Amino acid sequence: MDLTFASFGEITEAVKSKKISAKEIASHFQTRIQTLDSKLNSFTSINKNALKDAEAIDARISKGENVGALAGVPFGIKEMLCTKGMTTTAGSKMLSNFVPPYDATVVARLKQAGVVIMGKLNQDEFAMGSSNETSFHGVVKNPWDLERVPGGSSGGSAAAQAARLVAGTIGTDTGGSIRQPASFTGIVGVKPTYGRVSRYGIIAFASSLDQAGPMVSTVKDAALTMEVICGHDSMDSTTSQKSVPTWSKNISANIKGMKIGIIKEYMKGGLDADTQKTFDESLETLKKLGAEIVEVSVSMTEFAVPIYYLVAASEASSNLARYDGVRYGYRADFKNLSAVGVEEFYGKTRGEGFGKEVKRRIMLGTYCLSSGYYDAYYNKAGQVRRLLTNQYLDAFKQCDVILSPVTTSPAFKLGELINDPLTMYLNDIFTTSTNLAGLPGMSVPFGLSQSGLPIGVQLTAGHFEEQKMLNVAAALEDASPVKGKRPHVI
């Protein structure tokens, strides 16, 4: 087994049968992080206890204990997720010294399943961004081309996974932050149905949209991760009571007779040539495999970006109000605290603690929620969001899964869009509606641009229909012209 590229199944099988110890595996990936990450900046901190944690798994195996479905698999975790005893900064100066005393449910479940946490992964500040250039920890580079962005906001997860500095990673997706970086780095990224994954212990950005999910190398590894992290949690009232299927066992690449929907309104051109070609080839492949292509209309997707930026900014302005420098997080330095008024205290603390993009969102969101504007912006966005969701529900009466591009182009250059927020926001044109409607969505690698950059295609399914989406993804993965292609850095 080539350890660097081993699947979860290969790793757990080898660890459980003692062909290799969890400690040796953890040590292998630790070395990769140490030697390669200086080029990428994907890790924000390393778990100093990783080898000890791995040893504990080996000890339990020796005692004949059941160590879980992902025994010995080394994972990196996005900075948004609380990890007991390890920094959880959300990529912000505001939380740069925050070490949570508890694990997010996702992290707790991964540990329970035998995963070894190798460290925390870089991201855009508070998950706001599409390029991983707004992080307090600095920009992350794309392992396929070090002059390009890895996408965002889960850019650290994407870069670390694409370079196989770990075997698996977790990202979060509020408007595309798992799928867009997955597409930019040639990995598989899944945002499950809203309510599948507990948000307990995940730093809140926009609570009605946020969802965590796997960013891994294969469709099967994604399914295996989801089986571990999904499911009801009494600590998050928005989690669904629905049982969690064993998706990995039921994956079938036989998609004969399945109905694949194409959104009419997405077919108006405007994609770069390589992205268009990748999309067209994926469609042809599905046809050849016996799927039926159906055109559906989701006309409200035209408004997805504006609705998203109103809803997400509004929720963010409310969620981020908690960072006041009083209880935890960054506090500005005041010479004589007792002489400082509340306004000055909050103003200086929040002014210094948050970066530019986060402040822009807080101002936008606060404006949308303020008296006199609430009905015109926040309420109206909510109404259009409902109409968009209804259109998707109708569309899924005509098809099983929707195929679309993930973005309009492959990874752009570092610095190219960072001073142009509106163009940056438009990057989310194909991803935000999935979050607004609460649907599951994923990116599967399917193409390479002329200049050798990976390009994914997006699959979206009806609520709780992840299996259908994973099956089509498996079919695409098998037929993918980029199967086995790897970035230069590794």
Q: Which residues bind ligand GLN (CB under 6 A)?
A: 127-130, 153, 173-177, 205, 312, 428
Distance CA 22, CA 20 (A): 7
Distance CA 37, CA 163 (A): 9
Q: Smallest gap, in angstroms, from Cβ of residue 302 to ligand GLN?
A: 18
157: annotated active-site residue: no
The amino acid present at 425, given as its one-letter code, is Y
- Which residue in 7, 42, 153, 282 is the catalytic one? 153
Q: Which is nearer to ligand GLN, 116 or 229 (CB)?
A: 229
Cα of first residue to Cα of last residue in the chain, in angstroms, is: 17
Please check whether residue 103 is in contact with residue 201, taking contact to mean a CB–CB distance below 8 angstroms.
yes
Q: Which is nearer to ligand GLN, 271 or 304 (CB)?
A: 304
b/e 337-366 (16+ beta carbons within 10 angstroms → b): eeeeeeeebbebbbeebbbebbeebbebbb
Q: Which is nearer to ligand GLN, 127 or 165 (CB)?
A: 127
Longest dimension (CA), the chain: 74
- Which residue in 23, 78, 111, 220 is the catalytic one? 78
Nearest Cα to Cα of residue 149 among 168, 167, 171, 122: 122
Q: Smallest gap, in angstroms, from Cβ of residue 4 to ligand GLN?
A: 29
Distance CA 50, CA 109 (A): 17
Distance CA 131, CA 180 (A): 9
Please check whether residue 409 is in contact with residue 271, taking contact to mean a CB–CB distance below 8 angstroms.
yes
Q: Smallest gap, in angstroms, from Cβ of residue 18 to ligand GLN?
A: 40
φ, ψ (nearest 5 deg) of residue 184: -70, -15
Distance CA 308, CA 313 (A): 8
Q: Smallest gap, in angstroms, from Cβ of residue 460 to ligand GLN?
A: 15
Q: Strands across the sheet with 401-405, in order? A: 43-46, 116-121, 74-78, 168-173, 211-216, 188-191, 441-448, 454-461, 401-405, 259-263, 292-296
207: annotated active-site residue: no
Which residue has the CB atom at the shortest distance from ligand GLN?
177
Q: Which is nearer to ligand GLN, 173 or 400 (CB)?
A: 173
Distance CA 138, CA 384 (A): 36
Q: Which is nearer to ligand GLN, 8 or 378 (CB)?
A: 378
Q: Smallest gap, in angstroms, from Cβ of residue 198 to ligand GLN?
A: 17
Q: Smallest gap, in angstroms, from Cβ of residue 143 to ligand GLN?
A: 20
Q: Which is nearer to ligand GLN, 154 or 349 (CB)?
A: 154
Q: Smallest gap, in angstroms, from Cβ of residue 21 to ligand GLN?
A: 36
177: annotated active-site residue: yes
| Residue 372 region by backbone torsions, left for phi larger than 0, else alpha for psi between -120 and 50, else beta | left
- Which residue in 177, 198, 217, 240 is the catalytic one? 177
Work out the angle at residue 191's Cα, subtended by the Cα atoms of residues 187 and 194, and round it to the nearest 5 degrees: 175
Q: Which is nearer to ligand GLN, 68 or 150 (CB)?
A: 150
Please check whether residue 218 is in contact with residue 175, taking contact to mean a CB–CB distance below 8 angstroms.
no
Q: Which is nearer to ligand GLN, 11 or 127 (CB)?
A: 127
470, with CB counted inside 10 A (0-12, 13-18, 19+), is: buried
Distance CA 367, CA 370 (A): 5
Nearest Cα to Cα of residue 424 among 121, 122, 124, 39: 124
Q: Smallest gap, in angstroms, from Cβ of residue 228 to ligand GLN?
A: 22
Cis omega before residue 153 (within 30°)? Answer: yes
What positions carry a catalytic annotation? 78, 153, 177
